[in-house]
Amino acid sequence: MSRPGLLIVLSGPSGTGKGTICKCLLEKNPELELSVSKTTRPPRKGEEDGVNYCFVAVEEFKEAIANQDFLEYACVYDHYYGTPRQAVEKKLAAGKNVILEIDPQGAQKVMRAYPDGVFIFLLPPSGAELRKRITCRGTESEESLTKRLAAASQEVMQASKYNYVVVNDEIASASERILSIIQAEQLRVKRNQDLIWQLAEEVKE
């Protein structure tokens, strides 16, 4: 039986570049799997259904909540977002490392359900840079922009609940640091007990 994969949670305020970092991580390590969330948010220009998100109606989302189909879900900036449980559990059982790019409310639920997960918080290089990134992205309405800026400061405070913080000063190097975290986590003794026992037996034979 293969070892279960790592459940990796990546959070950070809107505009820290989580999406770009995830893309870069998958390019650098094609064995990583990204969990595709369901959301009731309308698609942005260029977003593809089933790739960036599965875009669903509120009724469908609520039905999925009732059926306990989500590993976690949260309401973020007036829209629902949730992680499909079955898809993630199947990948983990197959030994795949799965990344969840989710908000801190959802991450806290995962922390309780999966204490063995790896929780990484992505920080912007500075407050001014974050404001610039959110404002210049040009994908948000005025109202959504105000909400995201107000939430960002609160969200940064959530970083202390995570296992690691990574400053996204430059995409390639921040991604490399995350890959190093994943590599180190895979080498932790608690994840390699089977290997230790097996070797101890082999030495005895």
Q: Which residues lie near ligand 5GP (CB under 6 A)? A: 14, 18, 37, 41, 72-74, 76, 81-83, 101-103, 105-106
Q: Looking at beta carbons only, is 37 or 168 nearer to ligand 5GP? A: 37
Report whether 72 contacts 117 (CB < 8 A).
no
- Write down the least CB distance from residue 196 to ligand 5GP, Å: 35
- Write down the least CB distance from residue 74 to ligand 5GP, Å: 4
- Write down the least CB distance from residue 44 to ligand 5GP, Å: 8
SS3 track for 41-98: CCCCCCCCECCCEEECCHHHHHHHHHCCCEEEEEEECCEEEEEEHHHHHHHHHCCCCE
Report whether 76 contacts 105 (CB < 8 A).
yes
Reference 12, options 160, 204, 186, 152; nearest CA is 152
C-alpha to C-alpha distance for 122 and 156, rounded to whole angstroms: 9
Q: Which residue is nearest to ligand 5GP (CB)?
A: 106
Q: Looking at beta carbons only, is 105 or 192 nearer to ligand 5GP? A: 105
Q: Looking at beta carbons only, is 40 or 97 nearer to ligand 5GP? A: 40
C-alpha to C-alpha distance for 162 and 9, rounded to whole angstroms: 9
Q: Looking at beta carbons only, is 18 or 133 nearer to ligand 5GP? A: 18
Q: Looking at beta carbons only, is 42 or 115 nearer to ligand 5GP? A: 42
Q: Looking at beta carbons only, is 97 or 133 nearer to ligand 5GP? A: 133
- Write down the least CB distance from residue 190 to ligand 5GP, Å: 26
- Write down the least CB distance from residue 197 to ligand 5GP, Å: 36
Report whether 8 contacts 118 (CB < 8 A).
yes
- Write down the least CB distance from residue 187 to ligand 5GP, Å: 28
The helix or strand, by DSSP H or E, that contains position 113, with its residue range, turns out to be helix 104-113
The helix or strand, by DSSP H or E, that contains position 178, with its residue range, turns out to be helix 171-186
